[in-house]
Amino acid sequence: MGLKINNLTKSFGTGDIETQVLKGVDIEVKEGELVILKGASGSGKTTLLSIIGGLLGRSGGEVSLNGENYLDIKEKALTSMRLKEIGFIFQSSHLIPYMKVIDQLTFIGEQAGMSSKNAKIRAEELLKEIGLGHRLKAYPNVLSGGEKQRVAIMRAWMNEPKMILADEPTASLDAQRATEVMEMIRDNIKVKHAVGLMITHDERLFGYADRIYTLDDGYVADEKMDKKELIYN
């Protein structure tokens, strides 16, 4: 079980201007695993993540989560899946400026069908868990970059998703904050038996991954490489 990607392809444009970004990607991420996806700029990492997240259509291949081939379901169902089963963490926190910290989470919970009361209880638990219990009523504009990103991570966990997709979640953070955030993401994935796929260029964070894939020229390379090998070579 977990995430399985088989022979995934993606092309942009047609005819002479057709560009094939993904030429047949195969990736497997098991439950409780955090896999890092690296690659040069323009190699198609975000395209891959967007397809897995149901935000972009694919040209060919299969993507399944816990055995369910979900990309061909109707748009409405896919939106609902993004809400309930996929947690997104972006490079920037992308918090809603007019919502208090606690509301950033309760809104997502209520959208997924949670009662206001239960959403509030869960949001408080999650925020206290990451040391933001004293910031529940604060607006994003008074939070530090690290605090914002921690709120964004907990927003992704609010509906207990089966899969976390993160696109350079530590890019805007200093080293210490980046380490904290990585530990938080990894620990949550382990404890909650979720699937984690993360794009990052930061080699200091490779040690947190169970496996590392490199996307190069539309194919996945180095998938067999052990993380220790990467760190020490």
Cα→Cα distances 34→126, 127, 145, 196, Å:
20, 22, 23, 4
Least distance between another protein and beta carbon 99 (Å): 6
Which lies closer to another protein via its Cβ, residue 124 or residue 210? 124
Kindly provide the residue ranges of all beta strands, DSSP E only, lying in 13-150, ordered along the sequence. Answer: 19-29, 34-39, 60-65, 68-69, 86-89
Which lies closer to another protein via its Cβ, residue 90 or residue 219? 90
Which lies closer to another protein via its Cβ, residue 113 or residue 229? 113
Look-up of token digits 């404890």: 191
Which lies closer to another protein via its Cβ, residue 147 or residue 167? 167
Least distance between another protein and beta carbon 97 (Å): 7
Least distance between another protein and beta carbon 229 (Å): 27
- Alpha-carbon dihedral angle through residues 131, 212, 193, 117, given to the nearest 10 degrees: 40
CA 197 – CA 178 distance, rounded (Å): 16
Burial class (CB in 10 A: 0-12, 13-18, 19+), 72: exposed
Residues that bind another protein (CB under 8 A): 21, 41-47, 50, 53, 55-56, 76, 79-84, 86, 88, 90-91, 94, 96-99, 103, 107-108, 110-112, 139, 155-156, 167
Least distance between another protein and beta carbon 43 (Å): 7
